[in-house]
Chain A
Amino acid sequence: MTLLTVNENGLYCKQGDFYIDPWRPVKLALITHGHSDHMRWGMGHYICHEHTVPLLKLRLGEEQSAQGVSYGEEFEINGVTLSFHPAGHIIGSAQIRLVYQGEVWVFTGDYKLENDGLSEPFELVSCDHFISECTFGLPIYHFPKTLEVYADINSWWAANAEEGFNTILYGYSLGKAQNILTHLDTSLGEVFLHGAVANVNEALSEVGYQFPGMRLGSDTNFSNMKGAVIVAPPSASGTPWLRKFKPYREGMCSGWMQLRGSRRRRSMDRGFVLSDHCDWQQLNKAVIATGAKHIYLTHGYESNFARWINEQYGLHATVLNTLYRPDMEGEDS
């Protein structure tokens, strides 16, 4: 029995007549998390984790019809039993579990096993069919321990401040930015936020999250700014917006920073290997631990990873051609 298939609109459940993270407008959409390749505009009704609701309203508009559910809460659509489980990717990110006539399917959306200290940690959900992302599905991706990276970031900030430089940290405005803010040692200096980051923080404050940092705006006193940290999305790099922060140093936080080519292409002063996705070892661990006999792979090095788990573990692995796209430029990675 097949519970989920890919059609021109997205990942479709025929039995329940709904979609998960669809890329074209449909009547009913279940959303794993708030990143733009998973949560798109134009759906009749959205169901997502309750912490994703304010993000959905921020990004797609207040008027959207959206319903929030909590982790572990079971509900039914046309006879398919559904529940959302923590994916550990960003705040509100979920794996979606589907049960129909005793068969269990899980779609991970984006996920990581490593605890980032902010989003609800990944929960292992046993299943028969496991649909996994594999953004970093090659053995060259071996991420360092998150806490060590944050220690590096803080000591780099301290060194920059001592030399009179401001520190600009780039991370995707939803997810990476909040992780960074949570781990910054705010005794080192002031923290400022790019508007895109401040907007997300404000939306998340509606469901109880608090982050350090002041929104940059017309009332900001730039002349007094010394040794501060500015958290901004990667798209801000290379723009005239940066001029006000001179002198500054730039650091990029992304899983892609593992490769020298990506580091050099961005011409950053520092690249921090910091990811909200699984690395090679985490992916292998997850795929085995679910106990699933059938594995489906989406965005990333899916054909290589499928061949590997096929040969290595004797699992039945298939590639699903979706439109979820890890952005090579460090957004959502």
Chain B
Amino acid sequence: MTFVELFERLDSTTKTSAKVNAIVEYLQYADEKEKLLGIAVLMGYKPKRPVKTSDLRLWAADRLAIPLWLLEESYYVVGDLAETLSLIVDQRQASRPFNIQNILEDLIEMQDNTFDQRKEKIEAYWSTFSSTALFLFNKLLTGNFRVGVSKKLVIKALGQHLHMEAAVVEHRLMGKWDPFAETMESLFHQALLAEKYFMPYPFFLAYPVDSDFFKTAAIDDWLIEPKLDGIRGQIIVRKNEVFVWSRGEDLMTDKFVEFQQLHTLLPDGTVLDGEILPWKNGSPLEFQLMQTRIGRKKLSKRNLEEVPLVMVCYDVLEWQSQDIRSWPLAERRALLADTLARYPVGNILLLSENLEFPNWESAESFRQTARQYGAEGLMLKRKDSIYEVGRKRGSWWKWKTDPMTVDGVLIYAQAGHGRRANLFTDYTFAVWDGEQLVPFAKAYSGLTDKEILEVDRWVKRNTKEKFGPVRSVKPELVFELAFEGIGLSTRHKSGVALRFPRIVRWRKDKLAAEANHKQDLLTLIESFK
């Protein structure tokens, strides 16, 4: 299978298993160098872009003798620049095999070429590639090779191909590696893999609690903690090294630099379980800030000062190199509290709060207002529970607050990208401020594919004005939005912003006049102060 065929197979399915199979098959047949480069590209490796996209647009328009505005209109319809360029320049003549190594080397070399040399090389590729090969070339050229394949999925396939555990493969591919400097042998040499001291324990996960639970459970048997909204993680200190794994079992040590010094502060052979969150001046910051920080390629000193991270620890799984997951929770908890107090980790490792309630009714009233305390509900854990594997019913439960909802009127729509190019899928919603509608949230998820088509058709027929890609529409459709938090903000004209807004349902039963008012949102904010 060639890389082009691999891409076509990956692109024609949404099933993870089919994607993994396709990659495994590709790995069987590709030669060693191409294999490594193929993997690197799938995992996001890209050479520096050798030319500006504005030049590419000009050259493509020239080739078809069309004005630039027509190319831009086409781009707006397609939603992807590499694809637009391909459709415009494709002469349906494929005369050169798709050799990923040659292409990458050419792209790297081009950085030292003159402008005319670059143009000549790129145009040569354009006239000898067609269809998918041409599209892939343009993807590599424009440097946004995202093809619906996660890093995790590639790792899984590599694991199957090499007969290795996925976590081991991931550890080997940690950090930055140069596919031109490495070989399959140098990366996955057996001797390097003998030890697996970097591996986390499988996480124990809680189910949502059901109402039957409260009929029989005695509150004194249960440890109750606020359920914080961060990234579940394990911190591993072994062999004088630190590893931080997230619940998705991604190795994230690089991103969470705060914890990298822990091997100098904690005894060797310690594994902690907890929630990683942005934290400043004694309370959590917005979750979104941490997401943005994780997304950054380079972390500046300022980023670290603005969004410092901590782990709020709720469990210890290994102590003095001994697996203690079978100890009762109460004992593990006592050891954890003692450890965090004894070692100088106070600014990065915090102890999860133990909430005491006289009965379930008072726990319930706390849960309903949990957001005021920066929590999204409660965790209930049996004091004598062992640390189990995976999602199990019985000894750990999560008890979340209900999401808040608001009815907003659709006022702007914008076409989506990629899979949803051509369709109006990004919506802006407004609430009433007197006679006026003021925007307060954007949302683009929650509708079924069928509803999306229906809204899309409606938008096309009820457009009032077009501003570039955005259309203002008649204020008629009402949608119920759910969200996890609300605050004052200058981002929207209403002066209010929601956290994680998503569409719960299309309220076809409501008229625009029945939507919520700005005052309703302000009242909500007030209630959290």
Residues of chain A whose beta carbon lies under 8 Å from any beta carbon of chain B: 138-142, 144, 258-265, 267-270, 301, 304, 307-308, 311, 328-329
A142–B13 Cα distance when bound, in Å, is: 25
Residues of B within 8 A of A267 (CB): 13-14
Cβ 8 A contact of A142, one of B90, B419, B420: B90
Complex: chain A residue closest to B135, CB-CB: A260
Contacts of B73 on A, CB cut-off 8 Å? 138, 301, 304
The chain B residue sitting closest to A141, CB to CB, is B87
Q: Please, which residues of chain A bring their CB within 8 A of the CB of B67?
A: 308, 311
How far apart are the CA atoms of A269 and B83 in the complex, in Å?
20
Q: In the complex, A177 Cα to B423 Cα: how many Å?
A: 26
Q: How far is the CA of A304 from the CA of B13 in the complex (A)?
A: 34
**A269 pairs with B12, CB closer than 8 A:** yes
Q: Which residues of B contact A301 (CB under 8 A)?
A: 73, 77
Other-chain residue from A141, A258, A304 in contact with B70 (beta carbon distance below 8 A): A304
> Across the interface, which residues of B come within 8 angstroms of A139, CB to CB?
64, 66, 70-71, 74, 87-88
A260 near B14 with CB under 8 A, answer no
Residues of A within 8 A of B356 (CB): none
Contact of A268 (CB < 8 Å), options: B12, B418, B420, B453: B12
A265 to B449, CA, bound (A): 9
Determine if B51 is an interface residue (Cβ-Cβ < 8 Å): no
A138, A263, A269, A329: the one contacting B453 at CB < 8 Å is: A329
Q: Which of A140, A142, A265, A308 has a CB less than 8 Å from the CB of B84?
A: A140
Instruction: Give A262 to B135 CA distance when docked, in angstroms.
Output: 16
Does B78 count as interface, using CB distance less than 8 angstroms? yes
Nearest residue, chain B, Cβ from A140: B87
- B421 within 8 Å of A (CB atoms): yes
Q: Which residue of B lies closest to A305 (CB)?
A: B70
A261 touches B78 (CB 8 A): yes
* B80, CB-defined interface residue at 8 Å: yes
- 9 further contact pairs, Cβ within 8 A, besides A140-B87, A260-B135, A263-B12: A140-B74, A259-B422, A260-B11, A261-B419, A264-B148, A265-B419, A267-B14, A301-B77, A329-B453
CB contacts under 8 Å to A, within B398-451, are 417-423, 449
Evaluate contact between B74 and A264: CB separation under 8 angstroms. no
Cβ–Cβ < 8 Å partners of B90 in chain A? 142
Give A238's nearest chain B residue, CB to CB: B449
- Check if B280 is an interface residue, CB within 8 A of chain A: no
Residue B143 at the chain A interface, CB threshold 8 Å: no
A328-B12 CB under 8 A given contacts A140-B74, A140-B88, A142-B90:
no
Query: Can you list, as one digit per residue, whether each of B57-68 has a CB less than 8 Å from chain A (1) or not (0)?
Result: 000000010110
Contacting residues, chain B, for A260 (C-beta < 8 A): 11, 80, 83, 135, 418
Please, which residues of chain A bring their CB within 8 A of the CB of B11?
Answer: 260, 263-264
Q: Which of B84, B135, B419 contacts A264 (CB 8 A)?
A: B419
Q: Tell whether B79 is near chain A: CB-to-CB under 8 Å.
A: yes
**Beta-carbon nearest neighbor of A308 in chain B:** B70
**Nearest Cβ distance between residue B42 and chain A, in whole angstroms?**
17
B92 CB-CB contact with A under 8 Å: yes
Chain A residues with CB below 8 A from B420, complex form: 261, 265
A139 to B90, CA, bound (A): 11
Contacts of A329 in B (CB 8 A): 453
**Do residues B12 and A261 form an inter-chain contact, with CB atoms below 8 A?**
no
A264–B83 CA distance with the chains assembled, in angstroms: 14
B74 surroundings in chain A (CB, below 8 A): 138-140
Can you list 14 A-B pairs, Cβ within 8 angstroms, ordered by A? A138-B77, A139-B66, A139-B70, A139-B74, A139-B88, A140-B77, A259-B78, A261-B78, A261-B421, A264-B11, A264-B418, A265-B423, A307-B69, A308-B66
- Complex CA gap A78/B92 in Å reads 51
In the bound complex, what is the Cα–Cα distance between A263 and B83 (angstroms)? Answer: 13
Q: Which of B12, B79, B88 has the most CB of A within 10 A?
A: B12
Does the CB pair B80–A261 fall under 8 Å? yes
- Which residues from chain B contact A140 at a C-beta distance below 8 Å? 74, 77-78, 84, 87-88
Name the B residues within 8 Å of A142 (CB-CB). 87, 90, 92
Smallest CB gap from A270: residue in B: B12
**Bound complex: CA A268 to CA B449 (Å):** 14
Residue of B nearest to A267 (CB): B14
What 1/0 flags go to B7-32 for Cβ under 8 Å of A?
00001111000000000000000000
Cα–Cα distance between A267 and B417 once the two chains are bound (Å): 16
CB-CB contacts below 8 Å: B77-111 with A? 77-80, 83-84, 87-88, 90, 92
A-B CB proximity, top 7 nearest: A261-B421, A140-B87, A264-B419, A140-B74, A304-B73, A138-B74, A267-B14
> Which of A265, A267, A308 has the most C-beta atoms of chain B within 10 angstroms of its own C-beta?
A265
* A258: chain B residues within 8 A (beta carbon): 87
A267, B13: Cα distance in complex, Å: 7
Report the Cα distance A304→B73, complex, angstroms. Answer: 8
Contacts of B80 in A (CB 8 A): 260-261
Q: Which A residues lie within 8 Å of B79 (CB)?
A: 261
Q: How far is the CB of B175 from chain A (nearest CB, A)?
A: 32
Please, which residues of chain A bring their CB within 8 A of the CB of B66?
A: 139, 308
Report the nearest A residue to B415, measured CB to CB: A261
The distance in angstroms between the C-alpha atoms of A308 and B419, with both chains bound, is 28
Cα-based distance from A220 to B76 in the complex (angstroms): 47
| Cross-interface CB contact of A138 among B70, B83, B92, B148, cutoff 8 Å | B70
The reply to whether A328 and B422 form a contact with Cβ atoms under 8 Å apart is yes
Determine how close the nearest CB of chain A comes to the CB of B83; give it in whole angstroms: 6
Cα separation A144 to B74 with both chains bound (whole Å):
19
The complex places the Cα of A243 from the Cα of B84 at a distance, in Å, of 37
